[in-house]
Chains A and B, each alone.
Chain A
Amino acid sequence: MTAIINTGWYDLFSRGARDWLRHNDKVREAVQSHLPDLIAGPDLITGPRERTVQVPVRMLEHARFRLAEGRTQAGAGQGAGKPGDMLQPSQPDPAGMGGGGASGEPGEGGSDGGEVRLLLEFSIDDIMDWVWDELKLPDLKPRGGASIDEVELVREGWDKRGARSRLDRRRTVKEAIKRRAVQLDPVPFTNDDLRFRQLVTRQRPSTSATILFVIDVSASMTQLERKLAKSFFFFALQGIRRKYAKVETRFIAHTTHAWEFSEADFFQVTGIGGTIASTAFRLVLELMRTELAGSQNNVYMFYASDGENFTEDRAAASGSLTELGSMLNYIGYVETLPGVPRALETEMRRMCNELERKGVPIASSTLAAPEDVWRALRKFFSQENQNENAEAMR
């Protein structure tokens, strides 16, 4: 009755692997639901050129009722020795308990013989999908009323007459074949066979955008504040990139003067001295008048500052911002105030609010901690949409 059976199909078993994939899906879901915490982490944005980020995650644990760790743990062992013998000296930070003891996490996985950690890779596009989903942000649309539509020539239809350069050979041969098929003594080509492509002009909404990032790098902007600004810029850029086929970026930093920088240098720049914001705005104006004058792009400007500006500069800054407002699609002002929120309005903030009331397409938001980036993004992008809707109503 004892049979030894050799069953080849057992090789096909892979239930464990399938459950492992499911586990990884669940990790992804978990990561997704904690996205803002995760992305606000300082290490995420390593380089804006990378299209993926790696996130270390703990494996999911299926919870069970289990007893809390006692002050001592007892067990049965085997070997020589007498009671009181030391088997293992105390360790200052035993690997098995370090995490669990200090932070109160359920880190008892040590019994399984070494924790396996996962490094999940997410593409930034995925993350932005989730962000857009999570924030329920409206899709950006090109400004309808601002007439930044592009005119383009598109091929449409064929004609028997036309410029030689637009001769459609394939069509022409087809026509010739059709004719030859019904004629008794055909000639290879006649003038009637010729087909020329026709062009028409068409209005098309613009699919490219220019974003101007302006940052205040005066002495009062510390590393922390620049980091906040940087993560905001990063996501604003990623968001706008998704909505336009082509995005051009310009980077401007200012203290009492303003300079244009490359992207790589932009976040490294530090300056000394005071703050004259109008210098930067004037530089932007100049750019708009010269380099960007012919462009049909939608132009956005994001300005990050700690809000301080010389009071003497108020009129100049306000004037140039108003002028910019008429040329740009949208201006976003982020104020980086790490730590305790200040009760008083800063110089820049007051000015922006004033301009906003006057109808300039400008909005401001405050960044005190990394998680504020989401709030700010939501505010800017949903507001932009409202502006548009309002315009559409008019």
Chain B
Amino acid sequence: MSMHSAGHGHPHCSAASSSEGGASLGDHAGSDATLADYAERIEALAVELGMDFYPVNFDMVPNNFMVEIAVYGLPVRMRHWSFGVRYIHQLVRQHMGHSKIFEVMFPGDPCHAFMLEQNSLAENTLVTAHVLGHADFAKNNQLFVRFIEMAGSHILEQSAARANRLERALSAHGQARVEAVLDAALALETHIDVNQALHRPRFPEFVAPRAPAEAAPFHDRYTRLPGETVEAPPNEAPQRAPVPPQAEYDLLWFIAQYAPDMEDWERDIFLAVREEAYYFHPIYACQIMNEGWASYWHARLLREANFLPHDLYLAAIKSHSDVVRPFATGRQLALSLNPYHLGFSLWEHIIDKFGIEKARQICREEDDFGFIRNYLDRDLADKLELFVYETRKDGETKIATRDIHAIREAILAPKYNYGAPCVSITRVAGDGSLELHHDYLRDGRGLELTQAERVMDYVGRVWRRPVSLHTVDFRGVVRVLPARKPPV
């Protein structure tokens, strides 16, 4: 689930169906021209307000195209059966009216934004302003800058090229073999090491020979004592370095680099999946900030755009409040937070308190972790009525606490480590077998064993040597997967 709505859409805006449709001005072609005019003026206004963004290409797309993006995360991406499952879920959700996507935006240089054809002019005006906010964020936030630099700024073309390579592999090697590789690669999709560069060298093959100790004067004299033999210098032959030298968290990279019998096209698929994971990472790690920032700017741009007709402004602001609203309304409570609402409230709070310049600095320097931990303070949490709840296995749910530290950690907990358990590769044994360890102490509990077993099965098929995984079961007893050795 982590990435499939990774675009900057407004996913799941159930109430935002804008049924009144009051703001439809003129015919379609006319409204296109009007929109282009508004867009240009909003952009000029944004520059005037000091925003600094990559150019944005806007496309009007039909609904099924939006569904594809919601499913794949990208318009043209490698194909895999698991996307088919998401596709059906998405169709069901849409059919039930739970999900309408107005807009999806892909950061890069230039950025690409897709707007739904059925949007009203007011909605599209709002979306234009919103996307400018995202574009500004993507150009300034250090995490985005670093990852866009690594993973490329033309994501649509790059991902289409990767999809094309996959098609070629499919025709050359057959569906079964390609699928076996993608099963493994996509299962490990989020298991990258974001602290390492996208392109990193292999580990050194040999341990650097230890520099001979400086001959100390005492030692020198000692060896010259009668009866003392000079000890033979240590074996100078280079020592093979262990692989990996330390626990390796970038599973995709390690397997692509070190799998003993993988073919080049298989490594290519692994690295392609990894590259996309790098592209998605900042979007994932800054979701609250980014959506909040775009919402702050669309609200401000619309407010200050005095060229907009009054009724269009009202309709746009109505859409705004549909999108940026807490899931909890009135006396109702919600067991999840709307990231748009949280981010938007937090940015308004910051700008009230410290001013816009400080906000820009925060926008450049932080990700969601720093943003929430440093700036979600008790006042705001009380104002927003945030709490932490606990659900027992039997479904009993209680408010646990309103402690600010607990609230921050509850918001951030699902986002650690790209939303994935901490699994690392610790050893490649002499016979080529691969050992993985789950850091259950850090995660606080073990893995879901049946799932993990199946992932190990995927991995075993590409590693082509025995693979094993250490984790704990629900009692805290160490378990080694797979329980049975797979037939070779």
Contact = CB atoms under 8 A, between A and B. Distances in A.
Interface of A: 1-7, 10-11, 13-24, 26, 59-92, 94, 96-97, 101, 104-106, 108, 111-114, 116
B443 interface: yes
Contacts of B60: 4-7
A77 B187 contact: no
Contacts of A65: 187-188, 191, 420-421, 423, 438, 447, 451-452, 455
Given A68-B474, A74-B400, A83-B401, A15 B451 contact: no
B65 A10 contact: yes
Contact of B332 (A7, A79, A86): A79
Contacts of A21: 84
Given A2-B40, A77-B389, A84 B58 contact: no
A80 B59 CA distance: 42
Contacts of B83: 15-16, 19
Contact of A16 (B68, B189, B443): B68
Nearest to A16: B87
B394 A90 contact: yes
Nearest to B420: A65
Given A88-B395, A97-B395, A111-B1, A116 B89 contact: yes
Among all A-B residue pairs, the 6 with the closest Cβ atoms: A79-B333, A16-B87, A19-B84, A20-B84, A62-B82, A90-B396
B397 A88 contact: yes
A155 B449 CA distance: 70
Given A19-B82, A68-B447, A77-B388, 18 more contacts: A5-B58, A7-B61, A14-B64, A60-B81, A66-B451, A67-B445, A74-B389, A74-B400, A75-B410, A76-B389, A77-B337, A78-B333, A79-B334, A80-B385, A83-B387, A85-B399, A90-B394, A112-B1
Contact of B398 (A23, A87, A101): A87
A79 B1 contact: no
B405 interface: no
Contacts of B87: 16-17, 19-20
A80 to B, nearest CB: 6
A342 B326 CA distance: 68
Contacts of B81: 19, 22-23, 26, 60, 62
Contacts of B384: 78
Nearest to B33: A4
Contacts of A4: 32, 35-36, 39, 58-60
B324 interface: no
Interface string B52-75: 000111111110110110011001
A64 B455 contact: yes
A62 B57 contact: no
A69 B55 contact: no
A60 B85 contact: yes
Contact of B411 (A10, A76, A88, A94): A76
Nearest to B36: A4
Judged by DSSP, the binding face of B is: mixed
Contact of A77 (B90, B92, B336, B449): B336
| Interface size grouping (class) on chain B | 35 or more
Given A14-B64, A21-B84, A87 B89 contact: no
B378 interface: no
Nearest to A85: B399
A90 B391 CA distance: 9
Interface in B439-453: 443-452
Contacts of A82: 399, 402
A101 B474 CA distance: 12
A97 B407 CA distance: 26
Interface of B: 1, 32, 35-36, 39-40, 43, 55-62, 64-65, 67-68, 71-72, 75-77, 79-90, 92-93, 98, 110, 117, 128, 175, 183, 186-189, 191, 326-328, 331-337, 384-402, 407, 410-411, 413, 420-421, 423, 438, 443-452, 454-455, 458, 473-474
Contacts of B183: 62
B340 to A, nearest CB: 13
Given A4-B39, A5-B60, A87 B399 contact: yes
Contacts of A63: 187, 451-452, 454-455, 458
25 contacts: A2-B39, A5-B60, A6-B32, A6-B60, A19-B79, A19-B81, A23-B84, A63-B452, A64-B451, A65-B420, A68-B447, A74-B410, A74-B413, A75-B391, A76-B337, A76-B410, A77-B387, A78-B326, A79-B331, A79-B387, A81-B387, A83-B387, A88-B391, A88-B396, A89-B396
A197 to B, nearest CB: 52
A84 B402 CA distance: 10
A10 B397 contact: no
Contacts of B443: 67
Contacts of B446: 67-68
A118 to B, nearest CB: 9
Contacts of B474: 68
Contacts of A88: 391, 395-397
Nearest to B414: A75
A23 to B, nearest CB: 4
Nearest to A114: B92
B68 A74 contact: no
A312 B188 CA distance: 71
B94 to A, nearest CB: 12
Contacts of B473: 68
B399 A78 contact: no
A17 B90 CA distance: 11
A26 B117 CA distance: 35
A358 to B, nearest CB: 43
B326 A59 contact: no
